[in-house]
Amino acid sequence: SQKIEQNSEALNIQEGKTATLTCNYTNYSPAYLQWYRQDPGRGPVFLLLIRENEKEKRKERLKVTFDTTLKQSLFHITASQPADSATYLCALDTGTASKLTFGTGTRLQVTL
Amino acid sequence: EAQVTQNPRYLITVTGKKLTVTCSQNMNHEYMSWYRQDPGLGLRQIYYSMNVEVTDKGDVPEGYKVSRKEKRNFPLILESPSPNQTSLYFCASSLDPYNEQFFGPGTRLTVL
């Protein structure tokens, strides 16, 4: 069956460290993969999009990698800050329908 | 300001009483969709629309209806709400299914 997996356990890291979140998928061949940030009770906010022919993409302190062989995307936040605490969702196109499918998200907690 | 608006933001209703949640976007986007978000299940797509008068089922369409008579509006209709439709609902819009999705602020629905 098709599946998108994100670590359901919260990731706790110290301020200033690099946070790395993982998105694994099976039985999909996405052309696009996106990452969103969601704060409690609010709508997701787009962060980055990476295409299948791109290995890595950066935006300020954010970096996304996309390995279509491993079927995995890694999302990095460098020099993390308490304001980065949120849930991070990955989303990808299913390849067969005009829609995105979202993972369940990983909650990041950055402490002082 | 580019935005997606939803109304109402909060709604408590009773089983069987028809309701409509409105969604409007001011970005001239062709693609709009509705999601529901439940703990542990993540964001699941209910319906989507590629353009005016073009709608299609997402992953969890049972018990819902939509319409797209104008480009900017995409209302979600619950003809006979049931308690299992208690959830947090998000409307989203974008240029196409695979690009950055702009989400509304969410509607928290409780069906008693």
pLDDT digits (tens, 9 = 90+) for B28-80: 999 999 999 999 888 999 999 999 999 999 999 999 999 999 999 999 999 99
Q: What DSSP designation does B19 have? A: E
Q: How far is A28 from chain B (nearest CA, A)?
A: 15
Q: Is B105 close to A43, i.e. CB distance below 8 A?
A: yes
Which of B25, B34, B38, B43 is the best substitution to test chain A (most A C-beta atoms within 10 A)?
B43
Of A29, A95, A105, A44, the closest CA to residue B35 belongs to A44
Q: What is d(CA A55, CA A99) in angstroms, rounded to the nearest whole number?
A: 23
Q: Is there a contact between A104 and B104 if contact means CB atoms under 8 Å apart? A: no
B43 — contact with chain A (CB < 8 Å)? yes
For residue B6, what are the β-bridge partners? B23
Over residues A57-93, the pLDDT tens digits come to 999 999 999 999 999 999 999 999 999 999 999 999 8
